Amino acid sequence: MSSLTDEQNEQRALTRMARTSWGYTLRGARALMDDAARWARAEGIEAHIKEKDARALSAQQQRAMRAHARASKNRRAQSVPPVRAHALTDIEVNARAFGTRALRSALVIAVPACALMVPPWMFVEGNLGALLAWPAIYGYLAWNGWAHRDEAEPAQSVQSVNTLAPVEEKTRLFSRNRTEAGLKPTSEESAIIDRVHTWEAHAADRKLHEVFPGSPIIDESGILIPMEFAGLWTPAKLDNQVDQLRALLAVPDEVKTQVKPGGTADRAVLRIRTRVRDLDLTWTPERKGLGLNADTGEVVSVDVTDRLSVAGMSGAGKSVALRVLMAEALGLPNTMLVIIDLKVEGALWAHVARVESEADGIQSVIDDLVTEMKEREAIMRTESLDTWEPTPERPRIVVVIDEGAELMSEVPDSVTGLRSIARRARSAEIPLWWATQKPTVTGPGKGLDSAISAQLTSQVCMAVSSPTEARNVLGEDATAKGWHAEDLLKGGWSLVRVQGEDRTPDPTRVWHMTKEDVKAIAPRSPWRRAKTLTPVVDAKDALVVALDLSEGLQGVSTVRIGVALGVSDAEVHVRMRVHGVDPEPNAFAMGNGEKARGYRRDKLEAAFNRRNDR
């Protein structure tokens, strides 16, 4: 009885094994049939034929142009090679596509037919081993089915609309036959996507027939359409034709578009901002940077120790952006703020910064800053330093100008000192920030000074009114490289460009910092430079100090003597005249070959000898 049970169990196991292997075989055969059917359909073959023909036609035209150029130089040159007058017609394209599909279909039918008919024919001819092909085929199909065992249903056809995670590599935008689950298109997005599907029918009318769109992708910021080029097209040329793109795709007027780099010179990505990513933009002291990238959600940083410009029209969010940047600067060790503001915004910072809003006070603080810069430069030359190290006694001083147009109009004499600060004070840790609502360099009420703007290496540009204003802030090549600040939305959208850094023109959403957040910053004593300091030596010792400082040199500068004595330049001159020594304009040779106002070594020695002879 037990033997019968074992036999039954063995038979049932064999049955299950046969049934499982047959199921794997059928599943493997189905997978191969699906792959063969997709290959035979040759989806997108028409677009591929047109693209290949366009490239061939363009290559012929370029060869003809080169041959014509050679012929004009050499009369005995060969004749210009012929060039086709037009691209392939739709009938020719359809005929070639039909031929390709017919050939592929014949191959799909021929392969399994040969697998069934050739082994028995070879067996009849006397090759007994030919029948082993069938078990081999069975085993391959079973293995293929086992490899596809996790697929409950056959592979579905590729959707025409894909969705993408927020951070996507550029190269993946151009991959084909991709299916991803995610966001569904709205009715507005569906209308744009339908226009992409009918691109070929309308592209030639707008001279975009050498631009080939890929599969649209939907993410949290809207639609991404990868573009490939033929002929002489480049991303910059496509950017210049963005109006034709918008018209072809019927993009609504209120929806912004942006042409972005596509990874190579013959590719680009069209961003259609049908959506706004939901971002938490609430400012907190722990949050660093200017804000978040509108497309990826990553933090966008700005070097607050650098010279920078902040520009934007009324309502664009310039004041809020300045708040965020100034708050981050105050978070650095040994850093002070000096705010020059003819409006009322600066009053918010009076508890943590020196704020000047009147003409007299503005000129006074600029004079103090220039004097501080010169003193630091003198010390740096003496100690062979290339950069000032901020200390609690002599900290980093961030100078903020808001608003630039009002300052140049109301206090024009102040611009001279600010130009010196912009050119020279960076190494002395006195960086200059320039903010304006009117980023123009000419005409009445201009908001930028060309000499100062040329020194500002970091730019934060909010929404502006014209491409010219965008170029004034972001650089002359800005619009040509896709930096279109004139297309930004108001209310905290910005572009951040830094000289020497390879940043993409992705919009930045600025942190939202309120007035209450500013008032909540812990109070601190503002920076002030004392006009007259308590003398550390009397008038008779000034000559001795000057001699000590000029030891081994041709002379010593007034600034250096003043720093050693703790007095102003004017006080140095008064004390030295007691000994009959007057300053000379070129008495002290500096390390860079220039000369500074001060006292010559031989004159100091003569005065010292006269005093000893008395």
Q: pLDDT digits over 309-336, tens only?
A: 999 999 999 999 999 999 999 999 999 9
The correct answer on CATH 3.40.50.300 for the domain covering 291-519 is: yes
Q: Quick one: fold of 162-273?
A: Threonyl-tRNA Synthetase; Chain A, domain 2 (3.30.980)
The span from the CA of 211 to the CA of 266, in Å, is 10
Report which secondary-structure segment, H or E, holds 542. helix 539-549
Query: Which structure tokens are listed for 261?
Result: 């780099």
Residue 332: how many other CB atoms lie within 10 Å: 13
Residue 581, pLDDT above cutoff 90:
no
Residues in the chain, overall count: 614
Q: How would you classify residue 527: left for phi > 0, otherwise alpha for psi between -120 and 50, otherwise beta?
A: beta
- The amino acid at residue 50 is K
Instruction: Please confirm whether the linkage preceding 403 is cis (ω < 30° from 0).
Output: yes
Which of these, 455, 411, 465, lies nearest to 434 by C-alpha position? 455
pLDDT for 181-232, tens place per residue?
357 889 999 999 999 989 988 888 898 988 999 989 898 889 999 999 988 8
Query: Phi then psi for 349, rounded to 5 degrees?
Result: -100, 10
Percentage of the chain with pLDDT > 90?
37
CA distances from 293 to 151, 268, 298 (A): 38, 19, 5
**Percentage helix, strand, coil for the chain under 3-state DSSP, each rounded to 5:** 45, 15, 40
pLDDT for 20-77, tens place per residue?
777 777 777 777 777 777 777 776 677 777 777 777 777 776 776 666 666 655 554 4
Please give the DSSP secondary-structure letter assigned to residue 160. Answer: S
Domain ranges, ordered by start, for the chain: 12-147, 162-273, 291-519, 539-613
The span from the CA of 559 to the CA of 565, in Å, is 10
Query: Phi then psi for 372, rounded to 5 degrees?
Result: -60, -40
Residue 162, pLDDT above cutoff 60:
no
Residue indicated by tokens 């940083």: 301
- CATH architecture, range 539-613: Orthogonal Bundle (1.10)
Assess contact for 568 and 542: CB atoms under 8 A: no
Would you say the pTM of this structure is higher than 0.85? no
